[in-house]
Amino acid sequence: MTLQQLAAQLKQEIWAAAKSWSLPAQCIHCHGSRLGWKDCSRTRSLSAWLEGLLVFVDEIPVRRVHCRDCRSSWTLQPPGVLPRKHYQPCVAAQAVSQVVAEPGASQRQVAEELGCSRRQVGRWVDWVGSLASPDDLQARVVEEADAPVVVDQPTLAKRCRQAYTGARQAVLERAARVLALLEVLGCIWGLEPPGLRGVLVHLSEGWQALSSYASPAIPLLAPRPRGGAWGSIVM
């Protein structure tokens, strides 16, 4: 497919999914049940990585939900689209995997390929590494698989080992490990790759705070209480 055809297909799929929207069962703020649609029509844009191409799509529909109990409102995104992120996690996964694994892929080169800034690529590396503790994520993988699982420690590209300070190398190693573990977790759950996108979409339905760079950690992947169960989202 051409870039234009991929964009048209993705846009068509998102609009088709949006037609089946229904109100959430509870308010995400107060958990009240008196919800309604706000009388406003909005659209957004996004960029996604499809079939080896960066695809830009505009005029994506979003809807505002209003709670009559606490008088708060929030934006409901189409299925599979994360809030507060123009570049979707599949783009971040592609960028981070190139930076940490491909010898000739510098942050600047990856940024030029994706049409974003070098700093944006660096923020993706930091963000991925901060999403969860690799050890906690490893424990989650073992529990979900219900069997011992060995995930190979990703090997950084030689360029990364030579070009970065010790502190930056530690960030790259953590990001590489988190990315690999999310791929395994997504595979266990039967989610469409990349694991970064699949796991985040799977865990974040109805959860508006996931996309913050200021607080990137995923509480649902944090250590569970002793004798308790892993967290779940209240819808």
Domain locations along the chain: 3-13+25-76, 89-208
Q: Max Cα separation, the chain?
A: 57
C-alpha dist (Å) from residue 44 to 36, 57, 75: 21, 9, 11
Strand ranges (DSSP E) for the chain? Answer: 35-37, 42-50, 53-67, 73-76
Dihedral sign computed on CA atoms, order 190, 194, 196, 202: negative
- pLDDT computed for residue 128 by the predictor: 92
Q: What is the mean pLDDT of the chain?
A: 82
- pLDDT computed for residue 170 by the predictor: 86
pTM: 0.80
22: pLDDT strictly greater than 50: yes
The burial of 175, by beta-carbon neighbours within 10 Å (0-12 exposed, 13-18 middle, 19 or more buried), is given as buried
Which residue carries 């977790």 as its tokens? Answer: 185
228: pLDDT strictly greater than 50: no
C-alpha dist (Å) from residue 23 to 35, 104, 106, 115: 7, 47, 44, 36
